Amino acid sequence: MNDSFSCHSAKPEVTEVRAGVTRRAALSAFAAALATVGLTSLSESAYAAAKTYNICKTTDVRVGSARMFSIGGRSIVVTQPKRAVFRAFAAECTHEGVTLSRKPGNVRTSGSVMICPEHGARFDTTSGAAKGGPTSQALGKIKLTVSGTQVRVSF
């Protein structure tokens, strides 16, 4: 994992990947098995075990912009479509999986859309919905919380 391009505060709290199987994938399979046998509350607990990462500070993403970070073995784009409104999405374009920036840093935007550098797909900075280009599939949503000036994502 290389976090050297991440914002200065983007230090993962835990490592997510083990032997080619993500912890999330293993927990999802476990949760699905529990739900199958009717242990819903245990199933929900397994899902709740997602890890939380300090991805950046609120000042690292300007209003109206989008910025990609590498954390927890994933590329995540954080947006601030309106003042104090933050969103996070999987940074892989839903057309051919290219990341929305060639390296961690600013993602090209125009108004309220992010633009994929590969073939120009456009994604809404608030919802992640596809707004044009060669895909109609939205970006994957990532849970984001803000505590003071700290932006956190969970997956």
Would you tell me which residues interact with ligand FES (CB under 6 A)? 93, 95-96, 98, 116, 118-121, 133-134
Cβ of residue 49: shortest distance to ligand FES, in angstroms? 32
Beta bridge pairs of residue 110: 113
CA 90 – CA 141 distance, rounded (Å): 6
Q: Please, which residue, 11 or 119, has the CB nearer to ligand FES?
A: 119
Cβ of residue 38: shortest distance to ligand FES, in angstroms? 41
Q: CB-side exposure of 96: number of CA atoms within 13 Å?
A: 9
Q: Please, which residue, 52 or 134, has the CB nearer to ligand FES?
A: 134
Cβ of residue 73: shortest distance to ligand FES, in angstroms? 20
Provide the edge-to-edge strand list for the sheet that holds 109-110.
109-110, 113-115, 122-124, 130-132
Q: Please, which residue, 53 or 123, has the CB nearer to ligand FES?
A: 123
Structure tokens at 84: 């104090």
